[in-house]
Amino acid sequence: MSSAGFTWEGRSFQIDARCLEGDPVPGAWVHVCALPDEGARIQYDQPEVQQVRRDALAWWIPLLGDELVCLSTLALDEVYCGGAITVARSPRLFDQDPFARLFPGTVIRSDVFSVVAAPAGPVLERYAGAPWPGGRFG
């Protein structure tokens, strides 16, 4: 399984399933860059979405360092992205989250997210429509 359901403000998204598969980090901080409005979506292939993923690989993940728990884009279907979540042990760097360029961020706390190894770049392309950075062939 490469994706799992995530519901926020009554809106359903698909996230990288690995974010929910390990031992949960209690009280993790979640930066949800999305909007409740069902119309708030953008195509994965849009340059804005490509560029924030490049930024995530280039400096967002290194900036978070050991504070990072996991991150995932919020997939709506095989074409559209509804934003992204970054889960960390502290919210202190969330004001620099590049995914907030797609949709504004909201900070919540959660006990369900687990540590996922940061993605290895430079792959940006998604695997068969899976939420980035999850999925693989075979």
Partner 1 sequence: MTALQPGERFPDLDLPDHTGRARTLSELAAGDPVVLVFSRGWWCPKEQRYLRELTGLQDEFEVAYTRIVVVSVDEPGVQSAFRAGLGARFTFLSDAQRQWLGRLGLEETTDTTHHPYLPTAFTLHPDLTIHAVYPGYWYWGRATMQELRRDMRTISRAVREGFDGP
Task: Give residues in contact with partner 1 (CB under 8 A).
Answer: 54, 57-59, 61-62, 65-66, 117-118, 120-125, 127, 136-138
Please, what is the minimum distance in Å from the beta carbon of residue 24 to partner 1? 19
Q: Which is nearer to partner 1, 27 or 117 (CB)?
A: 117
Q: Residue 11 or 54: which CB sits closer to partner 1? A: 54
Whole-number minimum distance, CB 120 to partner 1, in Å?
4
The DSSP string of 79-124 is: SEEEEEEEEES-STTGGG-GGGGTS-EEEEEES--B--PPPPTT--
Integer Cα distance of 94 and 105 in angstroms? 8
- Residue 28: which residues within 8 A CB-CB, separation 6 or more? 69, 87, 88, 89, 109, 110, 111, 113
**Cβ nearer to partner 1, comparing 42 with 61:** 61
CA atoms of 110 and 108, how far apart (whole Å): 7
Q: How far is the CB of 34 from partner 1 (least distance, A)?
A: 24
Residue 46 CB, shortest distance to partner 1, in Å, is: 14
C-alpha–C-alpha distance, residues 80 and 44, integer Å: 6
Question: By C-beta, is 42 or 58 nearer to partner 1?
Answer: 58
